[in-house]
Chain A
C-alpha cells in the first residue's frame, strides 16, 4: 500500500508552520482543518485511516515545529 499526501496539504501546512514561528503563536485550528481534510481525502480514496493518520501526523510534526503536533490535533 503506497499513498502520497497531496501537494496542496503539504505546501499549506508548511506555510502555517512558518507563520507559527513568525507570529509566535499557535495556528492549531487551520492546521487541524487541513489535516482533517487530508485524512478524509485519503480515506475516501480507500486507504485505511489507521495507515493514513500516522503519516499525516508525521507531516504535521515535520512542518509545525514550534508546537510539536500529533494525534491530539486530529480527534478521529
Chain B
C-alpha cells in the first residue's frame, strides 16, 4: 500500500486437470493512487495485461491461466484475486512434453545477501527442443521477451506509465532448529530483505519441476 512494500503474486494455471503455480515477488518503488480497487488489484490486473501474454503466447492452447492472486506481504487487507480463462497461444498440433517439463529462468539479483532465484514454466511442445536442448529460434525469441519482462517492471498508469512494481527475489525468514528449519515470507517491512532482478536468463537445457510430478 506504500512505497517499499513487497507483494507476492501467484500465477495459477491448469493443464489437463493439474494445477501449475508460479510465485513472483515484486517491490513497490513508486506511489500511485489505485482506481476502483486496492494496489494488489492494480498489480494483478496489470500483470495480466503486461506480463501474462509473454507467458501464455508459447504455451499450448489447452493450458489455461485460471487465476492471478496478488497480496501485500505487509498488509492483510491489500489482497486481490483475479479470475481468468486465458488459453495458451500455441497450436495443439504438435506433441507436448510432460507437465513436469519446464523451461528454467535463472535470476541474478543486485543484493548478495539474497540467494539468486529461478522460475520454471510448463507447457513445452516437443518441437522446440532437440534431445532436451532448446533449439527453436522462435521459441528463443519468445524467451527473450519473457526475460525482458521479468528483468523489468509491472507498470501503472495509462497515458504515461510509471515503473511501479519491480520484480525481486525476497529473502525468506528462517526459524526452527537444524536440520528442521522452516522458512516463511517476511511479514513486516523491517523483515523485508530483497534483491532486484538484474538478469533473467533462460537455460538452454530443459529442466523439470518436482512438485508437478505424479505422487508429489
With a 10 A CB-CB cut-off, give which of B136, B199, B200, B203 has the most chain A CB atoms: B199
Selected contact of B199 from candidates A11, A16, A30, CB within 8 Å: A11
**Interface membership of B180, Cβ < 8 A:** no
A32→B137 CA distance, assembly (Å)? 8
Is there contact, CB below 8 Å, between B202 and A33? no
Selected contact of B133 from candidates A7, A8, A27, A34, CB within 8 Å: A27
* Contact bitstring B126-139, A, C-beta under 8 A = 1, else 0: 00000101111100
Residues of chain B within 8 A of A7, CB atoms compared? 108, 198-199, 201
Selected contact of A29 from candidates B136, B200, B202, B203, CB within 8 Å: B136
Residues of chain B within 8 A of A21, CB atoms compared? none
Q: How many A-B pairs with Cβ below 8 Å?
A: 50
Binding site for A on B (CB under 8 A): 106, 108, 131, 133-137, 140-141, 144, 147, 151, 198-205
27 contacts between A and B (CB under 8 A): A6-B199, A7-B108, A7-B201, A8-B147, A8-B199, A11-B199, A12-B202, A12-B204, A15-B203, A15-B204, A16-B133, A19-B133, A19-B204, A19-B205, A23-B133, A27-B135, A29-B135, A29-B136, A29-B137, A30-B133, A30-B134, A30-B137, A32-B137, A33-B141, A34-B140, A37-B140, A37-B141
